[in-house]
A and B are shown apart, each in its own frame.
Chain A
Amino acid sequence: MLTTIVILLYICVVLFDFLPSKETRSTKERVIYCILLTVSFCVLILYSLDIKVPGPTEPIRNVIETLFKPSK
């Protein structure tokens, strides 16, 4: 179900945001738009399929714990 929602969302984004303004965007803008969209799409598809994607919290916590040892 979640995977369907994600795929539908991205189809809508491409149909209603990317394609209508394609002509007004430069090649650079289009490339950056597509890269950002692809990255988020991959992460969300993996998340919706229950595949563990490493988040930033763990490394941030490890670094801070090593450097500062914050109190509970």
Chain B
Amino acid sequence: MQKEMISARQMFCIIIMFIFGSSVIMGVSSGAAQDSWMSLLLAAVFTVPMLLIYARIIKLFPEKNLFEIIEMLFGKIAGNIIIILMVWYSLHLCALVLRNFSEYIQIVSMPETPQLPIMIAMILVVVYMAKSGIETMGKWSIAMLSAVFLVVIITILFSLNKMDFTNILPFMENDFKSIAAGAFRLYAFPFAETVLFLCLADAMKKKDSPRKLYLYALLFSTVVLLLVILRNLFMMGPGMVGASYFASYVAVKLIDVADFFARIEGFISMNFILAGIIKITVCLMAAAKGTARLFGINNYRKLLLPVSLLAVALSAIVYKNVMEMIDFLRFYTYYAVPFQVIIPLTVWIAAEIRMHKRKLA
């Protein structure tokens, strides 16, 4: 199979779109009310060391993906166990994002339509994107990132007349523990989910610096998510933000410029679809690559469709309703730790030991 390679710029855009994924629409909920923005900044700071570890792993094994690295470091048996865990995480995350998407569509626009057809329609687009390859996804991300960013800026500009800047007060009303807990939540979702890019790291060129790539993407996405948090907060206040399932959608619904420019919440749906497709595609590619590696299949594309249908099946049974979906966020923070922290940390330590031994030899 011919190896797919993408430029640093394309990878940068894919990472940002991936981080935006469901966050742009779910309104980056941290549970710290008007101090959410502090949680976000703290989460970004928490994420830096982990991203440096991810980048270091990529640097130590250029043009190799996480599954190849794991097999190289831990051998067949232990390696396969870790690969199974990462495949599960990719598949589960794919199902969770798909479910976020179908719940959103059902709540805001199609309450009578069952979720399954929505999921199937979405996954078929995702499979098409994944089959087209990561290069196509990279080019598409470059084009669409500007659209997503433009929508965020437009919604901020048009909502200026409705903003109440006192909504941010009082500062630090929540104690530091609540703010840190909110930061931990935002660390797990969405920032540290970028661990899945280790599974696509074989598409990165050797000369590109993964550290710069990760850190710039983190910086850019933090700035945009900060704008989103502040927009929602200034528009609705902490109470309403906390009570809304899809805070961004509700906030943008309030925009009304001179009784003429109103009802532009469709833009928000557009953002969700554009960024959501990238996030699901990345998860699906990671799951398919891991499954292919596990069974010794050379071309992961051959497994994209059955793996995607498995994600749809998982997505259909993963939650009973939207309340359960929102409630799962507080469990997700803990659930994601082994996949986002423990496995990469173990891989990194093993990789450093191996490199050290090789140097000594």
Contact = CB atoms under 8 A, between A and B. Distances in A.
Interface in B309-324: 309-310, 312-314, 316-319, 324
Given A36-B306, A36-B307, A40-B306, A47 B313 contact: yes
Given A6-B116, A44-B116, A47-B116, A53 B306 contact: no
B317 A32 contact: no
Given A44-B312, A47-B313, A57-B319, A71 B120 contact: no
A40 B307 CA distance: 9
A40 B304 CA distance: 13
A29 B181 CA distance: 45
**Which secondary structure dominates chain A's binding surface?**
helix
Contacts, number: 91
Given A32-B295, A57-B319, A60-B335, A37 B306 contact: yes
Contact of B313 (A21, A40, A57, A71): A40
A65 B306 CA distance: 33
Interface string B182-203: 0000000000000000000000
A28 B297 contact: yes
Contact of A17 (B92, B305, B310): B305
A43 interface: yes
B220 interface: no
B302 A21 contact: yes
B310 A48 contact: no
Contacts of B297: 28-29, 32
A39 B309 CA distance: 9
Contacts of A6: 116
Interface of B: 92, 114, 116-117, 120, 181, 291, 295-297, 302-303, 305-307, 309-310, 312-314, 316-319, 324, 328, 330-331, 333-335
